[in-house]
Amino acid sequence: MNIWELIITSLIKILIIVTVMLLTVSYLVYFERRVSAWAQNRLGPNRVGWEGILQPFADVLKLLLKEDIVPVIANKPIHTLAPIIALFVAFTTYAVIPIAGTLNIFGYSIPLVVADINMGILYVLALTSLGVYAITFAGWSSGSKYSLLGGIRSSAQMISYEISMGFSIGGVILLAESLRPYAIVGSQGAFLWNAWIQPLGFITFVVSAFAETNRLPFDLPEAEPELVGGFHTEYSSMKFAGFFLAEYANMIIASAMIVTLYLGGYNLPFINIDSLGLSNGLVILIQVLMFMIKTGALLFFFIWVRWSLPRFRYDQLMNLGWKVMFPLSLLNIIWVAILIMVFKL
């Protein structure tokens, strides 16, 4: 493959992934509203189109037509920059997450990931920590005390949980001996998923992922009853929509990360797909479907948890982060190290 072919295939992949992401995000919002309604014995939005299937587009249209209000005392450049950062982080992180194996088409073999880089996990960690800036900037630049409190909480929360997140990933990397997402998926294969080998790390990672994406029970940065809207109190129109999109896109990334790191990525459970002797196209199709099913199930889990659990108090959040999650993720690393020593995994 020469450089031009590489650029063109990458552009096509980016186009597909961004389109799929945007569609998934908009339907995730719809789905969240429906699931929340079902959990509360309601029906949820079911008017626009069949069973409300066009609701997301109606929502976006409404947000586009809204007036964009910026507070007088806001720091305008930063106020505008914050949602841009949020969206940038949300849509670039996905670049390194593999959706399926290598597709052989028209004589090319194309790995189904935008950028197959050898430090993919570090890239994800770096970008998701940039996401803190979006929220902190939004909170600080709005010139409102509620926004500021949301921003402060968010930075404290994200920094605390990033540590346990990083240490849980440490266990995965020890086993895979690589930071490349493909290598991590490959090392898990069909049987030895990290969720079975290191359940402790799985739990700490999932909890940290909830905290990192600001989802309930850790949605202190926006805590509606206490902080009005938290960091996006002073945002309206498409800037607000930007934060909204970014939140749901982050959810997708968190789910995809959990799948890649702990649930065997695109592998079928307990069946080695290479042993079935299927054609390359079929294998890729099954792998993409598998990946989507797993991610979808996790997204449902995210929504499900949101409508089941109450929010943590700020001190409880910090206690959990530093006194429980951090030691547990350390313990997980030791556990993995022992496994490697004993079984030579």
Partner 1 sequence: MAVKKRQKDLTFWERIYIPEIVKGLSLTLKNMFKPKFTMKYPEEKFIPAASYRGRPVLVMEENGEERCVACGLCSRVCPALAIEVQAGETEREKERYPEKFEINMIRCIFCGFCEDVCPEEAIVMSKDYELAFSNREEAIYGKDKLLVPVHQLQDRIDFLRNYK
Kindly state the smallest distance separating residue 206's Cβ from partner 1, in Å. Answer: 11
| Binding residue for partner 1, selected from 203, 268, 285, 339, defined by CB under 8 A | 203
From the CA atom positions of the chain, what is the Rg in Å? Answer: 21
How many residues are recorded in the chain?
345
Mask for 245-284, x = binds partner 1 (CB under 8 A): ----------------------------------------
Q: CA torsion 307→310→313→317, rounded to 10°?
A: -60
Q: Does 305 bind partner 1 (CB under 8 A)?
A: yes
Part in contact with partner 1 (CB under 8 A); list of ranges 41-49, 93-101, 233-241, 273-281: 41-49
Using DSSP's 3-state secondary structure scheme, residue 22 falls into helix
- Look at the block and give the residue holding tokens 């079975």: 196
Kindly state the smallest distance separating residue 124's Cβ from partner 1, in Å. Answer: 26
Name, in order, each residue with C-beta under 8 angstroms of 257's C-beta and a sequence gap of 6 or more: 97, 124, 209
Question: Closest Cα to residue 182, out of 280, 97, 290, 272?
Answer: 97
Nearer to partner 1, 231 or 302 (CB): 302
Alpha helices in 93-223 (DSSP H): 120-141, 145-176, 181-188, 194-197, 199-212
Q: Does 40 bind partner 1 (CB under 8 A)?
A: yes
Q: Does 119 bind partner 1 (CB under 8 A)?
A: no
Part in contact with partner 1 (CB under 8 A); list of ranges 76-84, 97-105, 257-265, 300-308: 300-308
Nearer to partner 1, 301 or 335 (CB): 301
Nearer to partner 1, 101 or 217 (CB): 217
Name, in order, each residue with C-beta under 8 angstroms of 150's C-beta and a sequence gap of 6 or more: 135, 139, 220, 221, 222, 223, 227, 229, 230, 231, 232, 233
Which helix (H) or strand (E) segment holds residue 58: the answer is helix 55-65
Q: Does 322 bind partner 1 (CB under 8 A)?
A: no
Nearer to partner 1, 85 or 216 (CB): 216
The dihedral sign for the CA sequence 72, 74, 77, 79: negative
Would you say 255 and 265 are in contact if contact means Cβ atoms under 8 Å apart?
Answer: no
Q: Does 43 bind partner 1 (CB under 8 A)?
A: yes
| Binding residue for partner 1, selected from 35, 125, 251, 290, defined by CB under 8 A | 35
Part in contact with partner 1 (CB under 8 A); list of ranges 105-113, 208-216, 251-259, 305-313: 305-313
| Binding residue for partner 1, selected from 2, 41, 275, 279, defined by CB under 8 A | 41
Q: Does 309 bind partner 1 (CB under 8 A)?
A: yes
Part in contact with partner 1 (CB under 8 A); list of ranges 39-47, 61-69, 121-129, 258-266: 39-47
Question: Closest Cα to residue 217, out of 320, 77, 288?
Answer: 320
Nearer to partner 1, 8 or 309 (CB): 309
Q: How far is CA 328 from the centre of its chain?
A: 22
Kindly state the smallest distance separating residue 210's Cβ from partner 1, in Å. Answer: 11
Q: Does 316 bind partner 1 (CB under 8 A)?
A: no
Residues engaged in binding partner 1 (CB under 8 A): 35, 37-43, 46, 203, 304-305, 307-309
